[in-house]
Amino acid sequence: MPPKSKVTRDMIVNAAVEIAREAGAEAINARAVAQKLNCSTQPVMYHFATMDELKRAAYSRTDDFHTEYLMNCSGCKNPLLEIGLNYIRFAIAEPCLFRFLFQSGYAEENSLPEMIDSENLTPLLSAMQEWLGMDMDNIKDVFLTVALFTHGYASIIANNTLEFDEALVAAHLERALKGAVIAVSQEENNEEVL
């Protein structure tokens, strides 16, 4: 039986996430991970056949962290607004991880419908459904509108040095949310939206 590895798969993934956090996902390689763990590249290559495999594992861990970050809004007056603000706060606090998640090409989903049906969105969509009292198809429509708006804000802030005015952004997000809810409700009742 081979000796147990002192450097675990989990340690390697954590190191890769830290590298992505500090320098971006493009900086993840066997040598950088080994240096971060103070070991040779052998354990990295033992646990991950390719760097793409390691980056996908790091992406998944980062995605879980992002979901947890977003959902940290218990006791909020308007959880949907708070989740949107958390999305933007994440882009500000973790710009390299934000770019890894949304601008690296490692997302498993290849379309907006696939993204909306992702397991990671289930807690968020369920919270929206509970708060708004709409059926899930309508919730997904509202979510898509607000998510695209919020992502635009977060991308501009994460990729530039724009100042984050939380009160202004909150007002815009609230307007986008109200507008999306009204539009979906009117469409459901076959009313003219514009």
**pLDDT per position as a tens digit, 12-22:** 999 999 999 99
Measure the CA–CA gap between 141 and 127, rounded to whole angstroms.
Answer: 15
Q: What is the pLDDT of residue 7?
A: 92
Beta carbons of 177 and 153 less than 8 angstroms apart: no
| Distances from the Cα of 191 to the Cα of 31, 67, 148, 183, 194, angstroms | 60, 35, 24, 9, 9
Beta strands in the chain (DSSP E): none
Q: Is the pLDDT of residue 116 over 80?
A: yes
Q: Are 108 and 190 in a shared domain?
A: yes
* pLDDT bucket at 164, cuts 50 / 70 / 90: confident
Measure the CA–CA gap between 184 and 190, rounded to whole angstroms.
Answer: 10
Q: What is the pLDDT of residue 5?
A: 52
- Domain range for 15: 1-62
Q: Are 58 and 78 in a shared domain?
A: no
Burial environment of residue 78 by CB neighbours within 10 A (0 to 12, 13 to 18, 19 or more): middle
Q: Are 113 and 156 in a shared domain?
A: yes
Q: Are 140 and 172 in a shared domain?
A: yes
Helix (H, G, I), strand (E, B) or coil at 51: helix
The string of pLDDT tens digits covering residues 59-106 is 999 999 998 898 887 767 777 888 889 999 999 999 999 999 988 887
Average pLDDT of the chain, as a whole number: 88
Task: Compare 58 and 187 and report the one with higher pLDDT.
Answer: 58
The string of pLDDT tens digits covering residues 125-162 is 888 888 888 999 999 999 888 988 899 889 888 887 67
Q: Is the pLDDT of residue 112 over 80?
A: no
Q: Are 169 and 132 in a shared domain?
A: yes
Burial environment of residue 67 by CB neighbours within 10 A (0 to 12, 13 to 18, 19 or more): middle
Cα–chain center distance at 163:
21
